[in-house]
Amino acid sequence: MSATHINSYYAATANDDTRYPRLRGTVTADVCVVGGGFSGIATALSLAERGYKVVVIEAERIGWGASGRNGGQMIAGISGEHRIESQLGDAGRKLLTEIRYLGHDIIEGRVARHQIRCDLKHGWMEVAARPRHMEGLRSYVEERVAAGDGDGLELVEAADMGRVIGSDLYHGAMVDRKSGHLHPLNLCLGEARAAVTAGVQIFEESPVMEVAGGAKPFAATAEGRVDAASIVLAGTMDPKFQTGPLGGLLFPTGSYIVATEPLPERLAKAVSPQDLAVADSNVVLDYFRLSADRRLLFGGRCNYSNRDPRDVREALRPRLTEVFPQLEGVKLDYAWGGRIDIVLTRVPAIGRREPNVYYMQGYCGHGVNTTHIAGQIVADAIAGTMEKLDLFEKIRHVRLPVGQFLGNQLLALGMLYYRLRDLL
């Protein structure tokens, strides 16, 4: 357990250092939310806005995990959309249309209402890493346009890529003007402030040791306990809570980011002419964007053994300069990493472990948007509207009947397979 955030660009530029107390003694609430990242804070705020008494318990600091370390890309939709369509048919397609920009709407509304300073900017694109990938992007846009849901999407052909990115590495792109990028830690901290203003109690440095549903639900720490009508397991959980429908479901993998020194305005404009967030089309992908102070934040999974690299800077620098040769020699001021949860079906896990114990996790790298969608779905369910939660509970997930160690080794082999496929 740590009382401080890791040494990242986001922590260095955080605009709030509020410390919340540890949980001591017994507290009662309508809902106890376990986890103080985007999942937990988004859910707590959604419930508080409906009049529920909510308590949030966080093992570290608010936004300490992936919510405060990620690439800051607000991307439409969720992962695993094809799986949802194939399993749920028309109901799945309707669900995806309804939630595609729901997370964006929630974030943008809260930023405006609560005056959250998180450098929110619109504009995101997926770039084609191989010529064949462009055909997939083209088909996706055509499908969205045909369904009447293509507003804000545009295709950029290979010959025109110079107007959107300063790299010769890609073979076209799909731009989504309604998606975008932001400072994730400052968004999470700002939403936590808004939640407290709405009546939510937040406790930090309070790892949960036990959770129970049944007739008397509770969540207990070493020093305290919350008695509540409903419990929400929000985001990455201790393996001892990965039981029932969560057993064998999640496999954490590493993702890493470097932040350059602030770039001169001319160089920043050359690298990213339209200040778009970018992700490439590989399964084992690169993602990057400019920060508000013109640093290039460049991230990806830079090893396939599921072990952290000894030196994140040196692990990511070759790929950064391959994408942007003009940044050769640029100083890398920050380097950090963390874990993201992969679900083998790629569909986020949203449902109930027991009738009054809810869970949400496994966003597969789409967490900024999807956490807010999940928070709304679970808040709706607690308030009595079960439609969307019921659909997610119908998804058939693939599970590996192995322990955590062997599961991680299998995941590492799988990531290596996809990396080789991307290269070929």
Q: Is the dihedral of CA 171, 412, 207, 221 positive or negative?
A: positive
Q: Hey, what's the torsion of the CAs at 311, 316, 322, 328, to 10 degrees?
A: -60
Same domain, 149 and 194: no
Given CA atoms 175, 283, 239, 14 in this order, what sign does their dihedral have?
Answer: negative
Same domain, 267 and 309: yes
Same domain for 336 and 192, yes or no, is: no
Q: Are residues 381 and 262 in the same domain?
A: no
What's the CATH code of the domain at 383? 3.50.50.60
CB 202 within 8 A of CB 195: yes
In the structure encoding, which two tokens stand for residue 393, read together? 């509970």
CA distances 246 to 26, 103, 361, Å, are: 28, 24, 9
pLDDT of residue 111: 98
Q: What is the pTM of this model?
A: 0.94
Q: CB under 8 Å to 316, separation ≥6 — which residues? A: 256, 257, 258, 298, 299, 300, 302, 332, 335
- 251 pairs with which residues across the strands? 342
Which CATH number do you get for residue 255? 3.30.9.10
Domain tally, the chain: 2
Question: Residue 305: what pLDDT?
Answer: 58
Do 14 and 162 have their domain in common?
A: no
Is 148 found in the same domain as 113?
Answer: no
Mean pLDDT, 10 residues at a time, the chain of 424 residues: 82 97 98 98 98 98 96 95 94 96 98 98 98 96 92 97 98 98 98 98 97 96 98 86 78 88 98 98 92 97 67 95 97 93 86 95 91 98 98 88 54 54 54
Q: Are strands 277-280 and 286-290 parallel, antiparallel or unpaired?
A: antiparallel
Confidence at residue 125, expressed as pLDDT on a 0 to 100 scale: 98
Both 267 and 298 in a single domain? yes
- Examine the domain organization and report whether 298 and 407 are in the same domain: yes
Question: Do 140 and 269 have their domain in common?
Answer: yes
Per-residue CA distances from 300 to 237, 303, 421 (Å): 23, 9, 17
What pLDDT score was predicted for residue 316? 96
pLDDT at residue 283 in the model: 80
133 with 1, same domain: the answer is: no
Domain that holds residue 57: 1-120+182-247+346-393
Same structural domain, 109 and 137: no
